[in-house]
Chain A
Amino acid sequence: MIYRVLAKSYTRTIVAALVALVFSLIITSIVLSVSGFNPPSTFQAMFEFGKDPDSIVNTVNRAATYYLSALAVAIGFRMNLFNIGVDGQYRLAAMLAAAAGGAWALPAVLHQVVIILVAVVVGGLWAAIAAFLKVTRGVSEVISTIMLNFIASGLIAFLLNPQRLAVKVAGSNNIGTEPISSSGRMPGISYPGSELKIYSFVLVAMLAGIAFWYMINRTRFGFDLRATGLSQSAAVASGVDAKRMVVVAMVMSGAVAGMVGMPQLLGGSYSYSLDFPTGIGFTGIGIALLGRNSPVGIAFASLLWAFLDQSSQILDFNDIPKEIVAITQAAVLLSVVIVYEVVTRVGQRIDQRHVAAQLGEVPA
């Protein structure tokens, strides 16, 4: 019976995710109790606020952004390539795309396409630096992408200056790029019961997820990618060009990362200013790990993450620090990787026993 349940890898994933979720709720409850708060009423307040229509719209919008970020991370993770630089890639891409979109007047559709293309190209090129350093100089992509995040911050600070690409935002101390005119904006989708609109870029994020699934599971490239991730030496022996794989996967990851800022840019803010959201690249790493690098898993993980972020907004009104959610998220993340490891190991042992029984041997 247990064998049947654990035989399929996706059921293992689901079991791991559920166990991790329960475990992290227990951890969160303990932390809340120790801090003198009542866990059930806290969870209830979050849930009540989270199912409000406005909250749902915000959750979906946020999840789309997280989803793209996690997809970008997952492309690399699938071949054991750690692109920690999604954060710098999307910020630089969003900033330059916003500047381009604000500066150029183009007809609708073409305008949006050009903005997205600029973002994708900038993201890909910024990631290409790390790929180049890795294949030519053997520099670990973990370190180089992290350094590139910082350098991107410097470049953005340099460019986002009234003498260069920025203008003062009317009525505030904020500065930002020239707002994109209406021909470059993406209209939102209405949601019953809410004044807020769902970004139409959510649909693009979904398409990206389907494309990711197709590429990984149905193309030669995806096969090579997975093979390299499982065993680099075996992949090289069967004719995979490891260096080329590194470059292509990294650039692809950066290109997807370039789209991370687009839902917000084209659907909400229309300009890159000092208060543009930061840190989504790191959130994406967590969500990719939580979703086991699969497009469906990541979708659930980003919805969960976005729901927690959104519903925690109510906690400050109840005098509970809303950072409790960060603890829940981190606990989910750390426990899911551990539980998955354990479930896999148990599953393997059951597999071995099952095979041994069928062969009529006594398991050792």
Chain B
Amino acid sequence: MIEQEVRAPAPDTARSSGLTRGLLIGLGVFVALILLRLITGESDITSSGTMGATLALAVPIGMAALGGLWSERSGVVNIGLEGMMTFGTWGAAFGAYFSGSPWLGLLGGVVAGALGGLLHAIATVTFGVDHIVSGVAITILAPGVTRYLSDLLFTDEQGGGATQSPPLPNFPTWSVPGVGKPLGSLEKHHWILVSDLAGLVRGVLTGLSPVTLIAILLVPASFYLLWRTAFGLRLRSCGENPFAAESLGVKVYRMKYAAVVISGALAGLGGVFLAMVASSNYQEGQVNGRGYIGLAAMIFGNWRPGMVAGGAGLFGYADALQLRGGAGAVHAMLLLIGIGLLALAIWRGYKGRVVAAAISAVVGVGVLVWFFLTDALPREIVTYSPHITTLLVLAFAAQRLRMPAADGLRYRRGGGH
């Protein structure tokens, strides 16, 4: 991450135009998806089921990404998010099962994740251990600890075992009143745009869990805290130039500790979602790389909350599509990717970057040929489409990104001379 191109920060006035641009991009993508649905007849591309699943799958990725953002804004790379999410899944099960209340499960998961964050902060901030080394160590630690604790606490319980918890109490779900039925009937008509929009709105507004709502609210809350308060300014200054911050009287260690613990708590919340909303109990290996995908979403989102949420949405969609639509719907995506690559090739050619244009064109044509010669993709590989998407997105998007200037660097108090 350290070697990504570093550019001067965009001026603050660019934000409102950035929001408009983000909305326009979103709209463009949605229209492209509708066209794709029409051409290929794969109704799952915009169905409310897929949209609902997108939101559900984007939440844990988004929480990991937001956690990464908090931590890296303070200058600490957090590759241990995966482990902290694992702690979160287990903590949720522990809290919820032994108290019988889903809310204490929420608390348990967040606290467990925060403890993982605290460990990372102790290692990296106090002892100056390499951030990636500590993060990897925590990710190795987490499954061992949770397996041991499960073996000790869950094996004697009904339905529990060394690798899973007993069934957990559910959160009440909530739908925006008066939305579900009318939109559902609209969606069934398969009218262009109207039905697709109905699918999107219905999928996003019905059957919401409180964890989802909290997660969504945490995105603007993070933006406000980090960019509109003195605390946020100080925290971010530690990620840009800790020695300058120190000279201005900012307690850099304290800021970094706060950021990394919050980061762990957010990852823990993602874990709560996985154990209690996306599933009905804690299962070993439930996190399944989502912590890392979250980091990719954070990079893709250029270390900014809105964009990070968008990145999480993208990966959530890739996951939802393979779960709901299966091999056929993902196969249809090939058409979109192929056309997108050809468009990119034309754009690059127009900009005079001949080699890059040629590469995009060749890959694009290859993808299109693949699309037209096959009917479906192999199921075994489609399962991993979120991971393939992550790799492709990073390969094609990781260019004009600006990470915090002192991200991942070792900081010692008074060492800046």
- Chain A residues packing against B (C-beta within 8 Å): 31, 35, 82, 84, 133-134, 137-140, 142-144, 146-151, 153-155, 157-158, 161, 282, 285-286, 289, 321, 323-327, 329-331, 333-334, 337-338, 341-342, 345
Contact = CB atoms under 8 A, between A and B. Distances in A.
B162 interface: yes
A306 to B, nearest CB: 16
Interface in B90-143: 119, 123, 127-130, 132-134, 136-138, 140-141, 143
B107 to A, nearest CB: 22
Interface string B353-395: 0000000000000000000000000101101100110110011
Given A333-B137, A341-B129, A147 B152 contact: no
Interface in B253-312: 289, 292-293, 295-296, 299
A285 B133 CA distance: 9
Given A82-B136, A337-B129, 17 more contacts: A137-B398, A138-B399, A140-B1, A143-B296, A144-B391, A147-B388, A151-B381, A154-B381, A154-B384, A154-B387, A155-B380, A158-B378, A289-B133, A326-B144, A326-B147, A331-B141, A337-B130
B145 interface: yes
Contact of A342 (B3, B127, B383): B127
Given A154-B384, A326-B147, A147 B134 contact: no
Contact of A146 (B141, B292, B378): B292
Given A155-B381, A289-B137, A342-B127, A147 B145 contact: no
Interface size class of B (residues with CB under 8 A): 35 or more
Nearest to A132: B395
A150 B384 contact: yes
Contacts of A148: 391
B42 interface: no
A138 B398 CA distance: 7
B140 A338 contact: no
Given A137-B395, A323-B147, A323-B151, A151 B123 contact: no
A111 to B, nearest CB: 29
Nearest to B293: A147
A321 B292 contact: no
B388 A143 contact: no
A158 B377 CA distance: 11
Given A151-B388, A337-B137, A338-B127, A140 B4 contact: yes
10 closest A-B pairs by CB: A326-B144, A330-B141, A321-B151, A157-B380, A154-B384, A150-B387, A323-B148, A158-B380, A323-B147, A139-B394
19 contacts: A133-B391, A134-B3, A137-B395, A138-B398, A139-B391, A142-B292, A146-B289, A147-B293, A147-B296, A150-B289, A151-B381, A154-B383, A157-B380, A321-B162, A323-B162, A326-B143, A333-B141, A334-B134, A334-B137
B147 A147 contact: no
A149 B380 CA distance: 14
B148 A327 contact: yes
B395 A133 contact: yes
B378 A338 contact: no
Contacts of B383: 154, 157
A329 B144 CA distance: 9
Interface of B: 1, 3-5, 79, 119, 123, 127-130, 132-134, 136-138, 140-141, 143-145, 147-148, 151-152, 162, 289, 292-293, 295-296, 299, 378, 380-381, 383-384, 387-388, 390-391, 394-396, 398-399
B395 A282 contact: no
Contacts of B4: 138, 140
B386 to A, nearest CB: 8
A338 B123 contact: yes
B291 to A, nearest CB: 9
A362 to B, nearest CB: 19
Given A84-B136, A337-B129, A327 B144 contact: yes
A341 B123 CA distance: 10
Nearest to A156: B380
Contacts of A286: 136-137, 140
A221 to B, nearest CB: 21
Contacts of B399: 137-138
B93 to A, nearest CB: 16
B391 A147 contact: yes
B137 A330 contact: yes
B134 A35 contact: no
A143 B390 contact: yes
Contacts of B292: 142-143, 146-147
A143 B143 CA distance: 20
A25 to B, nearest CB: 16
